[in-house]
Amino acid sequence: MRSNLITCPHCGKTNRIPTAASGHPRCGNCRKDLPWIVDAGDTDFAEIAERSSTPALIDFWAAWCGPCRMVSPVLDKLAQERAGRVKLVKVDVDKSPSLSRRFDIQAIPTMLLIRDGKVVARQAGAPPAAALRQWLDAALAAGQP
Ligand code: ZN
């Protein structure tokens, strides 16, 4: 099982959190919800995104993509603001040809919201931060039991 180090935005403690787990990560020190931001690719996408019990926001990006560099910090911020409610999963399209084909990624960045293994929302291109926030909140609200 891979893990990432994430600094708690509330108390500053460094936490080691797994890339996949049931539920969502909390700070070992202050117990607040931690932002969950992980990388995934062709081999581990099913485990990290499709079997996630927390809705997964997928960011298809590439190192050479200018708009991706604009969207990436916005997504990081949204993952922080919505800690515990969403898991941000970053997929480098150049390293994940199977996923790119399977999800028919024509433009990057493309964002997907996956809940219980199903794509419930899709957004291509790089909208302004406010529009992206609205899209994510609508996507998170859609299909809730
Ligand atoms: Zn903390």
pLDDT digits (tens, 9 = 90+) for 83-138: 999 999 999 999 999 999 999 999 999 999 999 999 999 999 999 999 999 999 99
Number of domains in the chain: 1
Establish if 13 belongs to a structural domain.
no
pLDDT digits (tens, 9 = 90+) for 26-81: 999 999 999 999 999 999 999 999 999 999 999 999 999 999 999 999 999 999 99
Determine phi and psi for 71, rounding to 5 degrees: -75, -35
Which token pair is 130? 């406010």
Q: How many Å lie between the centroid of ligand 1 and the Cα of residue 56? A: 22
Question: Domain of 104: which CATH number?
Answer: 3.40.30.10
Q: Is 30 a catalytic residue?
A: no
Establish if 24 belongs to a structural domain.
no
Q: Is 11 a catalytic residue?
A: no
Q: Which domain holds residue 101?
A: 36-142
Q: How many Å lie between the centroid of ligand 1 and the Cα of residue 11? A: 4
Q: How many Å lie between the centroid of ligand 1 and the Cα of residue 85? A: 17
Establish if 7 belongs to a structural domain.
no
